[in-house]
Structure 1
């Protein structure tokens, strides 16, 4: 994994060295413009179309700005307009337009009476917050779900950990645009990513972050924010973004030798969504290679268990129905997550396809587990790579999954380069120019 760490950093270095990373920026924003425009025109989901209409403009403007930066760079290679600081500014502006503005618009339109300006998960989480206040548990029991009209039973399920209901508490207290769960998802995501970036900026003492790491960190942040799968998810549903940000923060804390805090960060993520638990296990094994596995495990496993205890005492059957039976396809209704990945296609097209897909998924899981036990990751970067590739394999082979889940492996794989502490060769001239950028 150390070799993989070094190789990952080298690949990203080569890509970002070309014209200061601007060609990759242009490819990102131009491709995102097309994605958003197509979404606005052909998506069958009204919240997605609403996002695409706004985001296409934001991405197009960003692409035009990058074209201008490239033209300036041809005449004035040392211009701060083309440096990393300027690229950070473009990224921040783009994220504001393609994610934060749609969150505000759709929340306001929904508060004004539009019923097609939020995905089902927003309604589910807000309702779970109300139930948490009134009943002491965010979950409905199976008989209560069965008593709902047939077309409402899907919304009766809450397939999240109890901590996710906290994002629904503002709506339970007051009905306004700013109590929309997506607003609080966005606030949490921004704060957590800012903390993760601040943490990684301390890896290179005593003179602060190096220009090389600054470029890698910028690219990693782009993959967690302005990438369409992330911006679209935040604007229309949003629950995955705080979970992702917590996992990225945990890896940043691991890279800066703070295993206890890394365990706490990934443990909070696990208290929101089960998808964070594989990342928690990888970090525990990383900690074991440094003889701090128990310190990681206390937060990584203790916090999700602690979050479960109160609702377990209130209604154990309801917890089991929502968190275990429904995701495993044993609920009263089936999950609508049917993105055309290999696992779904196998389950849908072959005789006994679900069994075949499940077997492939279990086999992949066992292979990953054996690799984790026999060759655990020894660095935060190797852990990020392990998590990224492992989740990518799981998402591809799951019989029921969503396209949006790809935001996890894509962001984790990009994050691996940013948290790497392996020295790599640098473009000295480019670094000198970027040093000026950082000082300004």
Structure 2
């Protein structure tokens, strides 16, 4: 009965030892060096032109960051300030600029100059959705309208996002320029939301062992410079604002702001369905603090409110894009076909899709039972449940992408920073927003 807690404690200690080795610089160096290798391999081998272009630029950015950390390690004993937290933050900013922002800007400028191979399909989908929202009041095309498109264009006719995502396409609908590329606005939103999350954590952190600012920095690295995040933002980008809002929601939960946490995750849910599981777990956390209704008002109310105008304009188009297409019942199939277990089960075994769906439902029910019997009582526990739950879902979904792993990875690395913000006892009523 006590083996599991002991194993958890040992794992946590191992992670803390690795994370703090050489003042955090050892893991920094490993992160940037491996990322540089990943980017170089992507540039040389990827079959997707935007990915190759990202890799060619990002490899240099990561290499520069790795060299900077190497210099910090060499100077660490003579000048501790050169290897302190402020210096690590500066290198992280350098890495994000070189591996994400610079490739994003280059790809956006080249695309505006006429290159049609400088953005993934989701960029076009979001911008088309923004144009339709501005012109028709709905970001979606109906079944008949998609069927009327040439076969090669039908995939881009689908918008498998919540209505709020179309807002990022409005700048392009107004002005055709590099800075109206939806990725630019994804990046701005991500940076602003993460800055708010970091500011909230630092303002609410209690004096405690564990170098709280270092834990926050590690969480920021996971959400920004990790290759799966950097590549996604530079070439597609729609997942990063959703991730940042989920991290902000968990941060607000750690800061005893259940109402605001509900609003943050509700905004994320109005953009993409991936935020909805996080909203459910957050509501369970809030219920242990007698704030479940307050959290649910934002977490559920905002996504529902975003759906209402679209339902009034064209209900069938909403169902076609948000439900039928992701479930494999659209006119074309989703390109999300990474070879994870769920996809392999669905494609290689008899009645594979039914079997994969059954396994996914079983895992979902197991998580639901856990939430009912032992709901999370801290924001960190909430983040861990969200991270492991999304990891299981991504691995078991019949249609999924490698890039979706950015959600569980960032959530799991963000969790230690949440333990450093003070929270009231779970039994006490919460009176703040």
Category of TM-score, reference length = shorter chain: over 0.9
- The root-mean-square deviation of aligned C-alpha atoms, in Å, is 1.8
Give 1:332 deviation, angstroms: 0.5
Which of these residues, 38, 54, 67, is aligned with residue 51 of structure 1? 54
Provide the C-alpha distance between the structure 1 equivalents of 2:209 and 2:406, rounded to a whole number of angstroms.
27
Provide the C-alpha distance between the structure 2 equivalents of 1:179 and 1:421, rounded to a whole number of angstroms.
38
Provide the C-alpha distance between the structure 1 equivalents of 2:174 and 2:43, rounded to a whole number of angstroms.
33
Query: Is 1:407–2:399 an aligned residue pair?
Result: no
Provide the C-alpha distance between the structure 1 equivalents of 2:257 and 2:6, rounded to a whole number of angstroms.
23
Provide the C-alpha distance between the structure 2 equivalents of 1:5 and 1:254, rounded to a whole number of angstroms.
23
- Check the 8 A contact 2:255/2:421 in 1, yes or no: no
Provide the C-alpha distance between the structure 2 equivalents of 1:346 and 1:353, rounded to a whole number of angstroms.
5
Match of residue 72 from structure 1: 75
Provide the C-alpha distance between the structure 1 equivalents of 2:302 and 2:266, rounded to a whole number of angstroms.
5
Match of residue 437 from structure 1: none
Give 1:357 deviation, angstroms: 1.1
Match of residue 26 from structure 2: 23
Give 1:65 deviation, angstroms: 1.2
Number of residue pairs matched? 419
Match of residue 130 from structure 2: 129
Query: Could you list the runs of 5+ residues in structure 2 that have no partner in the other structure?
Result: 423-433
Match of residue 425 from structure 2: none
Residue 211 to residue 346, structure 1, CA distance change in 2 (3 Å): closer
Give 1:285 deviation, angstroms: 0.3
- Check the 8 A contact 1:8/1:417 in 2, yes or no: no
CA deviations on 1:151-200 (whole Å, 9 max, x unpaired) are 10000000000000000000000100000000000000000000000000
Query: Is 1:175–2:176 an aligned residue pair?
Result: yes
CA deviations on 1:75-127 (whole Å, 9 max, x unpaired) are 32x61111111001000111011101111111100000000000000000000
Give 1:320 deviation, angstroms: 0.4
- Check the 8 A contact 2:228/2:406 in 1, yes or no: yes
SS in structure 2 at match of 1:175: coil
* Structure 1 range deviating more: 247-256 or 3-12: 3-12
Provide the C-alpha distance between the structure 2 equivalents of 1:323 and 1:192, rounded to a whole number of angstroms.
25
Match of residue 63 from structure 1: 66
Give 1:3 deviation, angstroms: 9.3
Provide the C-alpha distance between the structure 1 equivalents of 2:18 and 2:257, rounded to a whole number of angstroms.
30
Tell me the TM-score normalized by structure 2. Answer: 0.94
Give 1:369 deviation, angstroms: 0.8
SS in structure 2 at match of 1:272: coil
CA deviations on 1:12-59 (whole Å, 9 max, x unpaired) are 432222110111011101110110000000100000000000000011
Match of residue 395 from structure 1: 394
Match of residue 427 from structure 1: none
SS in structure 2 at match of 1:242: helix
Provide the C-alpha distance between the structure 1 equivalents of 2:7 and 2:97, rounded to a whole number of angstroms.
34
Match of residue 374 from structure 1: 373
SS in structure 2 at match of 1:274: coil
CA deviations on 1:215-234 (whole Å, 9 max, x unpaired) are 11111110000000000000
SS in structure 2 at match of 1:315: helix
* Structure 1 range deviating more: 209-218 or 400-409: 209-218
Tell me the TM-score normalized by structure 1. Answer: 0.92
- Aligned runs of 1:19-418 on 2, under 5 Å? 19-73=22-76, 75-76=77-78, 79-205=80-206, 212-418=211-417
Provide the C-alpha distance between the structure 1 equivalents of 2:382 and 2:256, rounded to a whole number of angstroms.
13
Provide the C-alpha distance between the structure 1 equivalents of 2:380 and 2:210, rounded to a whole number of angstroms.
18
Provide the C-alpha distance between the structure 2 equivalents of 1:307 and 1:115, rounded to a whole number of angstroms.
32
Residue 422 to residue 186, structure 1, CA distance change in 2 (3 Å): closer
Give 1:413 deviation, angstroms: 0.1
- Check the 8 A contact 1:9/1:420 in 2, yes or no: no
Give 1:294 deviation, angstroms: 0.6
